[in-house]
Chains A and B, each alone.
Chain A
Amino acid sequence: MDRGVLTVVALIALGLNGRGLASHLHRVIQAGRWNDLGVVILGVAGVGIAASMRLGGWRDQKRVVDAVWGYGLLLLACALTALGYWMQDWRLVWMGSGWMLATVVGELFGLGVGAVVRMGLLLGFVPLLPWGIEWRVHEVGQRLASWFAGVLLDMARVFYYWRGNVIGLVDKDVLGSEQGAGLRWFGPVILTVISYGFLRRYRLVRMIYLMVVGVFWLVVIQGGMIAYYFWAQVGKQGGGSEESLGWFDGLGVASVLFLVWSSDQFYSAFTYREAEDVQGDDPLNAGGRSQRGGVRKSGSLWGLVIGTVLYGLIGCWIWVAPGRFSTLADLGGEAGGSSSFESSTQQVGEWMFKEVEGGSFEGFVPVFAQVDSFKQREWELTRVGDIQRAQSAGDVPVSEDAYSVRFRLDGAWVDKPWAAWLWRWYGWRIFEEGREGELQYWSMSRTIAEEGFVVSGWSRPAGLGASGQYSLEVRGVRPISKEMQREMIALYEMIQGSFDGVIEKGDPK
C-alpha cells in the first residue's frame, strides 16, 4: 500500500515538473553543454540498468528502500524542486526530479538504498556542475596547474612571471591566455572517473580517493602542458600567438585517465588481501563469485562501459578539440561588427571610444564559457580634452594622471558569474565592493603600484542571446579617488544603453 501511494505521489510530482525539466534541458542543448547531456544519458542508462539488474540480484536484500526512506527521499526531492521553482533555478528542479525518479524506480523494482542513491546522484548530477560557480572550480584548478607549470619552468630555467592564474614569459609578450583558460579536460575526466567508480560499485571512500587522484592528475598534466607550451616558445621569434596543441589534448586526456586507473590499481594493490582473489566483488568479473552472490548480467554492464568510453571520447573531442577553440576565438574576435560600432558610437559625453585591436592582452575565451558564441571585446576611452592636448604637444593621448579607462564586454552568460571573475583570474585583489541599483562596483589592486576600479552591470543585448557583462574599468598607479569613482559610475550609466543598441545592430546572430 505504502509503496503504491509513494510511487503515485512521486510520479505526479514528476509530471508537474515537466516544464522545469524541459526548460533546463533546452538551455543545456542551446548552450552546447555536452557534458551535462552526457550526465543525463548516463543517469537514464543507470535507471535502465538498475531495472534490468533487478532479477539479476543487484539489490541489497537486507536494505530495500522502505517507506520511511522513500518518503524521506521524496520529501527532499520535493523541497529541492520547490526551491528551484521559487528561485527560478531549473537546475534545482532537475535535481529534485532526478531524485524523484530514482525513488520511483527504487520502489517499483525493490532496489536497495545504495542503488537508489547512485541513481539519484547520476540523475541529479547536472546541478553538481553549477554554471554559476564553475569559474571558481576552474580558478582553483587553473591556479594549481599554473603553479605546477611554474615549478617545471623553474627547473628548466625558463624565466616567467605569474599574473594571477596565468603565466607570462619574461622576455616576450606572451600571456598563456588559452593555456590558462581553465582546466580544459575537467568535465570529461571527472565524469568518466565517476562513471567508472559507479560501474565498479566502489564504496564512498574509494570514490573520494578516485576523485581526488583524478583532480590531482588533471592538474599535474595540465600544468605539464602549460610548461611545455612555454618551454616551446622560448627562443622563438614573434609575439607567441597561441595555438591549440591538438594531438596533445588527446594525449593529455588519455594520460590523465590512464594515471587515474593506475592510481586505482595502487589502491587495489595497497588494500589487497589474498582472500579477494576468491571473494572479489568485481561486477564485471562474470566468472567470479560475488560476496553478495548471484550471476551478473555482464552484457548490460559492458554496454554501459563501452557507452561511457564512447561518451568520454566524444565529449573530449567536442570539448578539447582544436577546432572548437579556434571557432570560439573567431567568434570572440569578430562578432559584434566593430564597423557598425564605429559608425554609431564613437563618443559618449566627452569620452571617445576606440576598439582595442586584437582584444585585450588580459583576456581569453574561458573553458567554462556557457554559450558557444562567447565574446570578449574591449574599447579604450579617451577624454576629448586629453586628445586635443596631446595633439598640440605632438604626443599620444594620455590622461594627466596616467590612468587608462576601458570599457569591455564579456559573455554571454546563462548563469551570471561573480562580476569580478575576470579580474580575479588575472590576480587582482578585490575590495570595497558595492552596489548601486543594478550596478556592481569594486576597487582592486595588484602589484605594488597597480590600482583599479570597475563598474560592472548586466545587459541583454539581442545579439548575444543571453546576458552580457559590461564593465567600465579604470586603472592607474594610485588609488582611484572617490570623485573619479563617482564619475565612472555616471559614465557607465550613460554608455550602457548606447552599447545595447550597437551590439544588437551589429550582430544579428
Chain B
Amino acid sequence: MIQWILVWLRELPLRIIEWMADGLEWLFRWFSGGTNEGFWGWVRSGFSKLFWIAVRLVAYPVSGLFLRGSGKRAYWWSIPSVLLGLFVIGSVVVWGWYRERILTRYLVRVQSAYSKGELREGEGKRYAERWIRDEGFSDPEKELLYGLICMQNGAVTSGVNSLIAMETGRRVLEILSPEDAKGLGVAHYWRAGEYLQGIERLEGDEFGARLEKVRWHVDRASGVAPGQIALLRGRLASWENDLQRADAEYRKAWEASPGVGVEIAQMYRRHGDASNADRVLKESAERLLGVLGSEPRNRAVREQAALAYEELGQWRVAEGVLVEGLQWSRDESSVGKSGTGASGVSMLGGHYDRRMDRAVGSAIESEVDYRELSYSILRTVRLRGVTPGLIQRVSKLGQERGWGEVLSRLQQESQGWLVEGGDPAVAHLGLGVVNWGLGELEKGRWHVEQGVRIDGRVRSIALELIDGLRGVIAQGWQERLEELDRWVSEANSGEGLGENSVGEKR
C-alpha cells in the first residue's frame, strides 16, 4: 500500500500536467463545438470569440507578415503604433513592478536630508510629498519622518515659511499621537514633551488637566532611548511632587546623558536643596568636559557644558567653553560678523543673552551687575550686531532703574573695558552712544569717530543701532538721533587699523 502511494506521489507532477492538458483540450473542444443556442451557447460563443481575438493579437506580429495586398500595407503602417503602444504598456508594467523601489529612492533622500541637514529649502519635504499620501507605501513611521523633516525645514528657513513648516511638523506629530487611540510611541513622547513646556505658568484645574495629559502620553511613549523616557518620567514626577520617584527617574536619565544635570539641579533648587544642585552641576560639567575631550566638535555637548557652568555662576568658564568651540567650528570665520546663521556664534550669542537677562532680571529685586551687563552688550554687538532683543533688554532696564543710573554706570564700565583693551572699537561706540544719551555731545561724537576709525565695520553696527532706535525712541529724541546719524556718516574710517588695534585715548 505504502509503495503504491509512493509511486502515485512520484507520478503526481506528471499527472497534474496531464490533467491540465486534458482540461485545456476539453475547453477548446467546448469553445469550438456544440451549438450557439441558449445561454450556454451564448457564453460559449462569446468566450470563443474572445479567445480567438487574443490568439490573433498574440500572433499578429508574425501573422501580419503573411497578409497580402492592402492588408500587408496596413500591417506595415501599423508597426509604429504597435511598437510604441507596447513600449507604453511595458513602461507602465515595469514602473508598477518597481514602484516600491522607486518610492524607496525618495524615502532614502528624505532620510539623508534629515540626518545630514537640508541643503536647499524645503527639498526634503518635497521628496516626502511623493509618497506621503500613498496608502500602500506611507505608514506612521514614514509620516513621523515627514513631520520631523518639516520641523527641520522650519528651523532652517525664516519668516512665514518657517512658521508654516514648523506648524506642519507639529500637526503631523499631533496626528500621530491621538488622545483617543494608541498612536505612535515616539509621537506620544514628543507630545508629552510639548505638554510639559510652559506647564509652570498654569494653575489650578488647568494645571491638573495638563498634568493628566502628560501622564497619558508618557504612559504610551516609546521608540526612543530609555534615558529619554526616564527624563520625561522624572519631569512628570517632579511636577507631581513625587520627589523620590523623580530622583530615581532623573538618575536613570543622568546616567545616559550628563547634560540632564542642569534640569535635575533646577529641580533640587526648586525644592530648596542647593547643595545637591551644585553637586549634580559640577559632576555634570566634568562629565561633559570629558565627552568634549574626545568630541570637540560636538556642539550640543559644548552648549550643555556651558549651561552647567552658567548655572554654577561660573560665567567666565562657560564663555571659555563656548569660545573654544568656535575655534573648532567651521563657522569661526564668521566670528566678529553679525552672522546669526552660524550656529557657533548663535550659541555664544545665546550665552550673552542669558547673561544680560540675568543682569536685567536682577534689577527688580537686587543690585545690577553692570560690569557683566556691559561686557555682554559689548560681545553681543560684536557678534550679532544690534538686535531687537538687545534694545528691548536695555530699554527694560532703563524703565526699571531709571535712564540716569543705567547710562552713567554703563559709561563707567565701558571706560573700564577701553582701558583693559577688550574690543576698543565697540567700546568707543558704546561710550559714544552713552555720552550721546547723557547729553555730552562733544565727547560722544569723538568716541563714535574713534570707533569708526579703528574698525570700519563699526559704522554698520552704529547704523543698525540708529535704525533700531528709530522705532522705539520718544518723539523728542528724534532730532538728537539724526545728529547721531550725522556723526556716524561723517566719521572717517581709518585704513590699516585692525579690529583689535588699541585706539587713541583722549
Verify if B29 is at the interface (C-beta below 8 Å from A): no
Q: Is the CB of A402 within 8 A of B164?
A: yes
Pair B95/A151 contact, Cβ less than 8 Å: yes
Task: For the complex formed, measure the closest distance between the CB of B221 and the CB atoms of chain A, giving whole angstroms.
Answer: 21
A398 touches B159 (CB 8 A): yes
Does A168 touch B at the CB level, under 8 Å? yes
Chain B proximity of A368: nearest CB distance (Å): 25
Which B residues are CB-close (under 8 A) to A477? 164, 167-168, 170-171
- Cα distance, A450 to B125, chains bound together (Å): 13
> B10: shortest Cβ distance to chain A, in Å?
47
The answer for the CA separation of A22 and B170 in the assembled complex, in Å, is 59
A406–B92 CA distance with the chains assembled, in angstroms: 39
Is B500 in contact with chain A by the CB < 8 A criterion? no
Contact A262 B81, beta carbon cutoff 8 Å: yes
**B70 and A268 form a contact (CB under 8 A):** yes
Is the CB–CB distance between B56 and A478 below 8 Å? no
Residue ID in chain A nearest B84 by CB atoms: A259
Mask for A199-222, Cβ within 8 A of B = 1, else 0?
A: 000000000000001001100100
Q: Is the CB of A269 within 8 A of B78?
A: yes
- Residues of chain B lying within 8 A (CB to CB) of residue A263: 78, 81, 85
A391 to B166, CA, bound (A): 21
Contact flag A447-B60 (CB < 8 Å), given A155-B91, A259-B81: no
Q: Is the CB of A277 within 8 A of B160?
A: no
Complex Cα–Cα for A448 and B125 (A)? 12
- Flag whether A9 is at the interface (Cβ < 8 A): no
Q: Does B129 contact A (CB under 8 A)?
A: yes
A259, A391, A477: residue with the most chain B Cβ atoms closer than 10 Å? A477
Q: What count of chain B residues pass the 8 Å CB interface test?
A: 56
Contact across chains for B67 and A269 when beta carbons are under 8 A apart: yes
Complex interface: chain B residues within 8 A of A155 (CB): 91, 94-95
**Once the chains are docked, how many angstroms separate the CA of A52 from the CA of B283?**
107
Q: Which residues of B contact A170 (CB under 8 A)?
A: 109, 123, 126-127, 130
Tell yes or no: B330 within 8 A of A by CB: no
Which residues of chain B from 76 to 123 have a CB within 8 Å of any chain A CB? Answer: 77-82, 84-85, 88, 91-92, 94-95, 102, 105-106, 109, 120, 123
**Residue in A216, A261, A270, A404 whose CB lies within 8 Å of B164:** A404
Do the beta carbons of A162 and B160 come within 8 Å of each other?
Answer: no
CB < 8 Å neighbour of B91 from A151, A265, A450: A151
Are B69 and A274 interface neighbours, CB within 8 A? yes
Tell me if A268 and B160 are in contact (CB < 8 A): no
B64 at the interface (CB under 8 A from A): yes
A259 touches B80 (CB 8 A): yes
A478–B171 CB distance below 8 A: yes
Residues of chain B within 8 A of A269, CB atoms compared: 60, 64, 67, 71-72, 74-75, 78
A311 at the interface (CB under 8 A from B): no
Q: Which of A210-264 contact B (CB under 8 A)?
A: 213, 216-217, 220, 258-259, 261-263
Q: Is A68 an interface residue (CB 8 A)?
A: no
Are B172 and A448 closer than 8 Å at their CB atoms? yes
Which residues of chain A in 461-477 are interfacial with respect to chain B, using CB atoms and an 8 Å cutoff?
476-477
Q: How far is the CA of A478 from the CA of B171 in the complex (A)?
A: 7
For A258, give its contact among B57, B75, B80 (CB under 8 Å): B80
What residues of chain A lie closer than 8 Å to B64, measured between beta carbons?
Answer: 269
Q: Kindly state whether residue B423 has any CB partner on chain A within 8 Å.
A: no
| Cα–Cα, bound, A476→B165 (Å) | 10
Contact code string A419-444 (vs B, CB < 8 Å = 1, else 0): 00000000000000000000000000
Q: Are B67 and A148 in contact (CB under 8 A)?
A: no
Interface size class on chain A is 35 or more
Residue of A nearest to B124 (CB): A170
Please tell me which one of the listed residues A152, A266, A401, A449 contacts residue B78 in the complex, with CB atoms under 8 A apart: A266
- B130:A161 contact, CB within 8 angstroms: yes
Chain A residues with Cβ below 8 Å from B57 are: 270
Checking A148, A168, A266, A402 against B81 with a beta-carbon cut-off of 8 angstroms, the contacting residue is A266
**How far is the CB of B187 from the nearest CB of chain A, in Å?**
13
User: How close is B362's CB to chain A, nearest CB, in angstroms?
Assistant: 25
- In the bound complex, what is the Cα–Cα distance between A217 and B394 (angstroms)? 71
Contacts of B84 in A (CB 8 A): 220, 259
Question: In the complex, which of the residues B74, B88, B95, B109 contacts A265, with contact meaning CB atoms closer than 8 Å?
Answer: B74
Give A272 to B132 CA distance when docked, in angstroms: 50
Q: In the complex, are the beta carbons of B68 and A274 less than 8 A apart?
A: yes
Instruction: Tell me if A448 and B175 are in contact (CB < 8 A).
Output: yes
Contact A448 B126 (CB under 8 A): no
Q: CB within 8 A of B109: which of A159, A217, A393, A450? A: A159
Distance in angstroms between the alpha carbons of A448 and B146 in the assembled complex: 9
Q: Pick the contact of A449: B70, B92, B163, B168 (CB < 8 A).
A: B168
B75 closest partner in A (C-beta): A269
Q: Which residues of A contact B95 (CB under 8 A)?
A: 151, 154-155
Report A-chain residues with C-beta under 8 Å of the C-beta of B147: 449
Question: In the complex the two chains form, is B91's CB within 8 Å of A272's CB?
Answer: no
B470 within 8 A of partner (CB):
no
Which of A160, A220, A265 makes the CB contact (< 8 A) with B130?
Answer: A160
Is A1 an interface residue, CB under 8 A from the partner?
no
9 contacting pairs across A/B (C-beta < 8 A):
A159-B109, A162-B129, A262-B79, A265-B75, A265-B77, A269-B72, A396-B159, A447-B133, A477-B168
The 6 A-B residue pairs whose C-beta atoms are closest, nearest first, are A272-B71, A266-B78, A262-B81, A449-B171, A268-B74, A269-B74
Q: Contacts A170-B126, A266-B82 given; 15 further ones with Cβ under 8 A?
A: A148-B88, A161-B127, A161-B130, A162-B129, A170-B109, A170-B130, A262-B81, A265-B77, A269-B60, A269-B64, A270-B57, A391-B471, A449-B175, A477-B168, A478-B171
